Every structure is written in C-alpha cells, then in structure tokens.
C-alpha cells in the first residue's frame, strides 16, 4: 500500500473522465468508486488510462472502511449525497471536494471541519467554479487600479452556459436529465440593476442580450446573486450599478422554449417528469456530438469625470465523447482544486473555491496548461 494519500472519486458520470485521467497521471492513487463496476471500467478503457487508478463498487460502508486520514473524497454524485459523503470523510479524518453549491446543511459542518483541520471544498467546477476564479481575479485587478473607491460607479456581470456547438431548432441540448433544468426555471432570482435590487420571479421574464467577443447570446439572472457581492469583496463599493450572475443561452432560445415555459409555469411534478423524459429523447447529445461551454465575466467602472475602466475574462470550449466541454471544464477544475487541498494551500473549513486572487490565478494557469483557453481583456494571469 502506498503511503501517499488516496483520492476517492465517487461517480463515473459524464463530467468525471478528464479530471480522473489528469489525477491518475499526476498524482496516482485514484480510486474510482461507482455503483456499477462495468460503467467504471468502460470509462477507464475509453480514457486509455493504464496506471494510477483502481476501481471499486460504491458501497458507503466499504468506502468508510477504506478512507484514511489525509485522503480526499470527491463527490460527483447527485447533490443529495454530498452531505453524507462529507460526514463520512470528516469522520475518517479526510478532506472532501464537490463541484456543487454549498448548502446550509454542508455549511453546518464548518466548525467540525475547522476543529479537525480538514478542508470541505465546494463549487470547484465550471459554474460554480471557474466563474469564482474569474471574479476574484477581476476584483483584485480593479482594486489595484483604484476603481472600487468612492466616486466610481461599478458594474459586474458573470454569465455561463452549456449549449450545443452547432445550433439546433431548440437552441439547446441536454447533457443529463432535463428535469433539473426545468425545475431551475421556477427559481426566482435577485440581482442589482441601475443601482437597485431587481427580483426576477420567472427566468423567462428576465431574458436580455449580451455580446461576448462579437457574438450575441441571451442571458437571464440565476438564483440569488446578492450573496456574492460579499463573496467577491464588493461590499466596499458605494455605487454598485450592476451585479448579476446569469445563465447564458444561444440567441432565439426564449422563442424556441415558449411552450416549455408555459409547461413549467402550470405543470405538476408528474407532468414535468414526463416532459423531461420527452426532452431527453428529443434533445440529448449523441455519442460524438460536440457541446460548447461559454463563460464571460466582466467588471467595469466609471469615475465622476466620465473616465471608464473595464476588464473581462472569457472561455469558450467545445468537445465531444468523454472529453466534452462540460466534462473538461468541470472535472479539470476539480482536479486542480484537489491538488490545492493535497498540497495544503487551503485553510480548513467548509468553503467555496478560493477567495485568494493569487491562488485563483494559479488554478487558472494550471487549467490553461490543461488546454482550457482563457481570454482576457485588460487583465493578465
């Protein structure tokens, strides 16, 4: 048995392959736990990974026996399992990583994690994940340029979306069960527009346009954005004119989805489940069909005398097979974060990504080394 920590990766789903392959090559000691051994072996074979990774059938009792102090447990399971996995890791003296949003139940484990000197790291995929890294780098650049003080009107926006690389009539395709996308449309959102709080009760009522490097997309506010004002260090801004974190879609999406919005607004849970199944049959990705992930984050300011300053970061990725754009941006970010945990660069406790702009730049440079193209305006890594 190796004396190095083990990385227990739970789940061999669509967003796992590139991260597992990178960790097997760079770190070794990866254990891929999956409900079915066949699916895990098929993934490993497809990736062509010969060393650095072993396979186990996922059983939580067996996992609890195997995890040792200093190991990292990575949950790529459905969100309902994340807290259970975190509790198992903490009980074993191990760290835990997930790409999902921090939940209140997860945050309740913060004191235990801190007391044990363990990291419970969340929001290290693409969105949430890379968007946080972009935001902290941009805010640091703006602060360094003196753009966040009194007399400056500041605007921040962050948009991300997974879309088909080749537009179809529906302006969208699904990487996994559509039910999550449908139910998310019911969520209200809070943002800041024209210096005042804006509440969007239904996603489709808040759709606008945005230009990303000469290409027009549709966007709408996503969830409660206002908590990220403090997360991104913008509470010092006296005149915050715009603050929004949004979902990005291909142009024409709002029109193409008109019937879907009506079904979401009036449908029952059972009818949405049936609709989800139909959409999966009609608009899921083919085996080698290309997907695309686009992210655009910008921060601008305008001084009292009219001088303007703006910086932005953008990525635009395509992929297919086991290396889809979504799989690469999600799981490669997770493997960079796992490296930061193993190397002891993060403080103990329950947290989201990293707030340190120096560490954020380090992660982004590693992602660039992995082939993720990051494009910047008026900011460098």
Which residues are the active-site residues?
A: 127
Distance CA 242, CA 131 (A): 17
Q: Are strands 196-200 and 72-75 parallel, antiparallel or unpaired?
A: unpaired
CA distance readout (Å), 340 to 30, 121, 346, 347: 16, 10, 7, 10
State which H helix or E strand residue 160 sits in. strand 152-164
**Cβ proximity of 102 and 352 under 8 Å:** yes
Cis ω before 128 (30° cut-off from 0): yes
* Count of beta carbons in the 10 Å neighbourhood of residue 110: 15
For residue 128, which phi and psi values (nearest 5 degrees)?
Answer: -85, 145
CA distance readout (Å), 91 to 95, 231, 378: 10, 29, 46
Q: Note the Cα 39 to chain centre separation in Å.
A: 24
- Please report the DSSP string for 55-124 in residue order: EEE--HHHHHHH--TT-EEEE-S-GGGHHHHHHHHHHHT-EEEESSPPPHHHHTTHHHHHHHT-EEEE--
**Cβ proximity of 131 and 232 under 8 Å:** no
């Amino acid at each position: 048995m190796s004396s190095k920590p083990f990385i227990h990766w739970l789940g061999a789903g669509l967003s796992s392959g590139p991260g597992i392959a990178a960790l097997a090559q760079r770190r070794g000691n990866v254990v891929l736990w999956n409900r079915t051994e066949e699916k895990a072996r098929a993934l490993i074979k497809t990736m062509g990974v010969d060393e650095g990774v072993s396979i186990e059938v996922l059983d939580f009792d067996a996992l609890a026996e195997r995890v040792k102090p200093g190991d990292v447990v990575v949950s790529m399971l459905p969100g309902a399992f994340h807290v259970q996995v975190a509790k198992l890791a903490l009980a074993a003296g191990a760290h835990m990583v997930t790409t999902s949003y921090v939940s209140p139940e997860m945050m309740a484990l913060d004191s235990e994690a801190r007391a044990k000197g363990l990291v419970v790291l969340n929001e290290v995929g693409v969105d949430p994940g890379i968007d946080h890294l972009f935001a902290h780098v941009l805010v640091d650049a703006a602060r360094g340029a003196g753009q966040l003080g009194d007399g400056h009107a500041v605007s921040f926006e962050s948009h991300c979306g997974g879309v088909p690389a080749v537009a179809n009539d529906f302006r969208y395709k699904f990487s996994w069960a559509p039910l999550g996308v449908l139910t998310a449309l019911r969520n209200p959102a809070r943002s800041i527009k024209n210096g005042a709080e804006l509440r969007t009760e239904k996603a489709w009522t808040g759709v606008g346009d945005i230009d990303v490097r000469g290409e027009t997309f549709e966007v709408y506010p996503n969830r409660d954005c206002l908590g990220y004002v403090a997360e991104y260090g913008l509470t010092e801004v006296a005149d915050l004119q715009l603050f929004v974190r949004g979902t990005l879609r291909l142009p024409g999406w709002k029109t193409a989805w008109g019937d879907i919005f009506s079904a979401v607004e009036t449908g029952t849970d059972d009818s949405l489940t049936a609709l989800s199944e139909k959409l999966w049959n009609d608009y899921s990705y083919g085996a080698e069909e290309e997907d695309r992930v686009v992210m655009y984050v910008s921060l601008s300011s305008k001084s009292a005398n009219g001088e303007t300053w703006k910086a932005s970061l953008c990525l635009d990725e395509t992929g297919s097979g086991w290396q889809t754009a979504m799989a690469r941006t999600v799981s490669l970010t997770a493997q960079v974060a796992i490296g930061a945990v193993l190397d002891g660069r993060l403080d103990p406790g329950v947290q989201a990504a990293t707030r340190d702009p120096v560490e954020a730049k380090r992660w982004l440079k590693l992602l660039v080394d992995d082939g993720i193209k990051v494009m910047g305006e008026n900011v460098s890594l």
